[in-house]
Amino acid sequence: MVTQILERKICALFIVISLVSLVNSASIWRWDCENEFCVKKSKNNATAGTSLETCKLVCGQYGTLWPVPTGDVFIGSAVVNVISQNFVFETNAVTDASRVLIEEMVDIFRGYLVSMEAYGGIEPTPSNSMIVVKIDCSQDDIRITYNTDESYELRITQELGEVVRVSITAPTAFGVRHALETLSQLAAWDDLAGSVVLVNEVFVSDRPFYRHRGLMVDTSRNFIQLGDLYRTVDGMSYNKLNTLHLHLTDAHSFPFDSPSVPQMAVYGAYSERKKYTVTDLKALNEYANTRGIRIVPELDGPAHSAYGWQWGPDYGLGDLALCVNRLNRTNVCIGPPCGIQNPVNENTYGVLELLFSDLKEAFSPDVFHLGADEVKFGCWNITEEIVDWLEDQGRGREEVDFYYLWGYYQNRTLEKVDTVYGNIPVIVWTSSLTEENFVENVITPERYIVQIWTESSEPSIASLYNKGYDLIFSNSDNWYLDCGYGSWVGDGNNWCSPYKGWQLLYDNDPLEILANQGILNPDPQRIWGGEAAMWTEQTDGGTLDGKLWPRGSAIAERLWSNPPGKWRTAEKRLVHMREVLCLRGIGADPVQPHWCHQNEGVCYYE
Ligand SMILES: *[C@@H]1O[C@H](CO)[C@@H](O)[C@H](O)[C@H]1NC(C)=O
Ligand SMILES: *[C@@H]1O[C@H](CO)[C@@H](O)[C@H](O)[C@H]1NC(C)=O
Ligand SMILES: *[C@@H]1O[C@H](CO)[C@@H](O)[C@H](O)[C@H]1NC(C)=O
Ligand SMILES: *[C@@H]1O[C@H](CO)[C@@H](O)[C@H](O)[C@H]1NC(C)=O
């Protein structure tokens, strides 16, 4: 009896297993490329169509390339099965250092292939195809800067027999890196082949439209763990973004553990675990450089300075910051918390110089960000020490006098930047200062780049351009990633609501913003590019990925390609790019049901 039941159970189990395997082998849908879209066809006809991934690789003018190349592109219609071990790399580099860097970049590329195979989850179908990748790099740059030539050419040809030749030529290692990134987008795991497939005939010629293609991450409002920053760098590199702007410090916390001024983190970090050492940041900077990304540090001042700056009196240095933690902020400051640096205390500049030196150790930046936004004069105006100083200068207490004081702060701070870094460009945010007629007398266009965070319709954008400033765009109506959540200082929604969908980011075109204000042919050298801004009052590692991605991909294509078309032309590739980000370990938000990924071009209304 017992045996019979057992037999029946085993039998039932066997039936279930064979049903499962039957369902599995039949569950591979097939697609055809029709009018540039992959159309879901059939499940049972083994001779029809291809896998979705293979269809996407070769369908449409750009296949799955993101961001779209700016030069000539040819993508053939066939793929070849490849396995990761069969890639051979031959590198011509001009120096050993350049070769070492390129080899690190090649290792990252190999990692992409290995992770595609891991996604397949089975032993790949054996293949004898050899893929010979020949890399020619003619210059010796090993640090990415705002002047780096990031261009490249990539060619894939399949020879008779079993050799696939890939040739990469680029002036710098950073162009090589971009070419490898593009190469990885011409390959994907294919369920039908049971291996990775690679498009077998390709030509791509490519260079970025803008030199400054960034994300800004605020690490003060909420601390962002190093692991989250590393993953953000990864995500940026997949999209050929090249600038990570760290808004390192603000009024809320001072997470930079400066060896020269340890008091800053002692008084300012949220906890022992919520700070970065120079060693941490140096390692992050190296990791980013290998991925074609430079880090631009920002030490925001004179405003947005409270926690970290309170220790002066305890050490006999006087007040380094004023109005710290003042609860009645009316007419005094924004916040909470309240706080602004003390521009008439000589020790403030001594501290800044030490901080600049320590940040040089970490990043050796080629531009430095001084913040300089949201200065309210109220706190200075109620501080006796400041009022006395103005009087000594023969000044009063009108707005123009406080702008003079602010100009004094900027000049003294710039002197310290120069002492530490030499005459590198510095960036400041738009503020009341950049709206004033006398801005040129306070900050000179020869040294200052202005990062725009006003709305795109703000007429000061054109006037700043006309006054000679170089510009970086982060206009808050389209390129702010923190908008559309609940308010953190009241009820309702936060100040820059609503949420900015990827379409808004994609369509935000700096040249169009300028053209709308009458600047038709701006000097391309002076329009550096842009950054999507991730302010973190309501974000930390738990939600960072979904807020950054895939919207960061949308701005990346705007900045790399400056595509003539609007978001609709990019939609199917963006939806695909989101899948790629997820496969590579980024928790990107879905932008549609997965059904839309499998049924291209039919989800959005006309
Ligand atoms: C299978 O697909 C091929 C190619 O699309 C087509 O020619 C053929 O008629 C299909 N067969 C069936 C049974 O649907
Ligand atoms: C806060 O300061 C403003 C301006 O000085 C003043 O009018 C107001 O009464 C103060 N509020 C409190 C609660 O002290
Ligand atoms: C500074 O305070 C004085 C005295 O209250 C006032 O007259 C002046 O308008 C204030 N200045 C500014 C720029 O608000
Ligand atoms: C700051 O420097 C600029 C440019 O050198 C100069 O014109 C201006 O007078 C200086 N302002 C102050 C307050 O020192």
Nearest to 167 by CA among 159, 157, 175: 157
Q: Which atom of ligand 4 is nearest to the CA of 407?
A: 13
Residue 267 lies in a domain: yes
Assess if residue 518 is contained within a domain: yes
Residues 196 and 312 both lie in one domain: no
Tell which of 178, 206, 234 closes a domain. 206
- On whether both 389 and 253 belong to a single domain, the answer is yes
Q: Which residue, by CA, sits nearest to atom 13 of ligand 4?
A: 408
**Which ligand is the nearest neighbour of the Cα of 400?**
3
Same domain for 376 and 511, yes or no, is: yes
In angstroms, what is the span from residue 442 Cα to ligand 4's centroid? 6
pLDDT at 47: 80
The letter for the amino acid at 295 is I
Best of 328, 329, 333, 338 to mutate for ligand 2, by most ligand atoms within 8 A of CB? 328
Q: Do 369 and 487 share a domain, yes or no?
A: yes
Determine if ligand 4 sits within 6 Å of the CB of residue 393: no
Q: What are the pLDDT digits (tens) for 281-316?
A: 999 999 999 999 999 999 999 999 999 999 999 999
Indicate which CATH number applies to the domain containing 147: 3.30.379.10
The three-state secondary structure class of 547 is helix
Q: What gap in Å lies between CA 426 and CA 292, rounded to an integer?
A: 21
Final residue belonging to a domain, choices 185, 206, 227: 206
Ligand number nearest to the C-alpha of 440: 4
Query: What pLDDT score was predicted for residue 436?
Result: 85
Cα–Cα distances (Å) from 420 to 253, 254, 360, 417, 423, in that order, read 24, 21, 8, 5, 9
Residue 503 lies in a domain: yes
Q: Do the beta carbons of residue 153 and residue 169 sit within 8 Å?
A: yes
Ligand 3 centroid distance, CA of 350 (Å): 29
Residue 90 confidence (pLDDT) above 60 = yes
332 within a domain of the structure (yes/no): yes
Q: What residue numbers bound the domain in which 47 lies?
A: 33-206
- The more confidently predicted of residues 161 and 246 is 246
Residue nearest to atom 2 of ligand 2 (CA): 330
pLDDT at position 606, please? 72
Average pLDDT over every residue of 338-348: 98
Nearest atom in ligand 3 to the alpha carbon of residue 378 is 14
Query: How far, in Å, is the centroid of ligand 4 from the Cα of 440?
Result: 9
Show the ligand 3 pocket: residues with CB < 6 angstroms: 377, 381, 397-399, 402
Clarify whether residues 560 and 470 are in a common domain: yes
Q: Indicate whether 217 and 158 sit together in one domain.
A: no
Q: Looking at ligand 4, which residue's alpha carbon is closest to its atom 7? A: 441
Q: Is the CB of 47 under 6 A from ligand 1?
A: yes
Mean pLDDT, the chain, integer: 94
Q: Please check whether residues 513 and 374 belong to one and the same domain.
A: yes
Tens of pLDDT, residue by residue over 204-233, are 999 999 999 999 999 999 999 999 999 999
Model pLDDT, residue 42: 86
What are the tens digits of pLDDT across the range 358-384? 999 999 999 999 999 999 999 999 999
Kindly state whether residue 39 falls inside one of the protein's structural domains. Answer: yes
Give domain status of residue 406, yes or no: yes
Cα(44)–Cα(38) distance, rounded to whole angstroms?
18
What's the rounded Cα separation, in Å, for the pair 28 and 589?
Answer: 26
Q: How far is the CA of 332 from the centre of ligand 2 (A)?
A: 10
Do 191 and 247 lie in a common domain?
A: no
Spacing of C-alpha 63 from chain mean position: 23
Question: Which residue from 461, 475, 486, 489 is spatially nearest to 543, judged by alpha carbons?
Answer: 486
* Spatial contact of 317 and 223, defined as CB atoms under 8 Å apart: no
The rounded Å distance from CA 324 to ligand 3 centre is 20
Alpha-carbon torsion 387, 389, 390, 392, what sign?
A: positive
- Residue to substitute in 401, 411, 414, 428 for testing ligand 4 pocket (most ligand atoms within 8 angstroms of CB): 411
Active-site residue set: 374
Question: With contact defined as beta carbons under 8 Å apart, do 196 and 123 qualify?
Answer: no
Beta strand extents in 55-206 (DSSP E only): 73-75, 79-82, 87-92, 130-137, 152-158, 163-170, 187-190, 195-199, 202-206
Q: Is the CB of 330 under 6 A from ligand 2?
A: yes
pLDDT tens figures, 18-39: 444 444 455 689 999 999 999 9
**pLDDT bucket at 338, cuts 50 / 70 / 90:** very high
Residues 488-544 have pLDDT tens digits of 999 999 999 999 999 999 999 999 999 999 999 999 999 999 999 999 999 999 999
pTM to 2 decimals? Answer: 0.95
User: Cα(441) to centroid of ligand 4, in Å?
Assistant: 6
- Whether the pLDDT of residue 105 is over 70: the answer is yes
- 336 CA to centre of ligand 3 in angstroms: 22
pLDDT for residue 25:
53
Is ligand 2 within 6 A of the CB of residue 331? yes
Does the pLDDT at position 3 exceed 60? no
**Which ligand neighbours the alpha carbon of 44 most closely?**
1
Q: How many distinct structural domains can be found in the chain?
A: 2
Q: How confident is the model at residue 69 (pLDDT cuts 50, 70, 90)?
A: very high
The residue out of 190, 206, 222 marking a domain boundary is 206
At 5, the pLDDT band (50, 70, 90 cuts) reads very low
Q: Mutate which of 403, 416, 418, 441 to test ligand 4's pocket (most atoms within 8 Å of Cβ)?
A: 441
C-beta of 48 in contact with ligand 1 (< 6 A): yes
Q: Is residue 139 part of a domain?
A: yes
Which ligand does the CA of 378 lie closest to? 3
Q: Whose CA is nearest to atom 13 of ligand 2?
A: 328
Residues 411, 308 within the same domain: yes
Are 226 and 124 within one domain?
A: no
The SS3 assignment for 321 reads strand
- pLDDT tens string 547-574: 999 999 999 999 999 999 999 999 999 9
pLDDT at 161: 79
CATH classification at residue 277: 3.20.20.80
pLDDT bucket at 6, cuts 50 / 70 / 90: very low
Same domain? For 253 and 188 the reply is no
Same domain, 229 and 197: no
Q: What is d(CA 489, CA 306) in angstroms, rounded to the nearest whole number? A: 18
Whether 15 maps to a domain, the answer reads: no
In tens, the pLDDT along 480-495 reads 999 999 999 999 999 9
Going by DSSP bridges, is the β-strand pair 321-322/340-341 parallel, antiparallel, or unpaired?
Answer: antiparallel
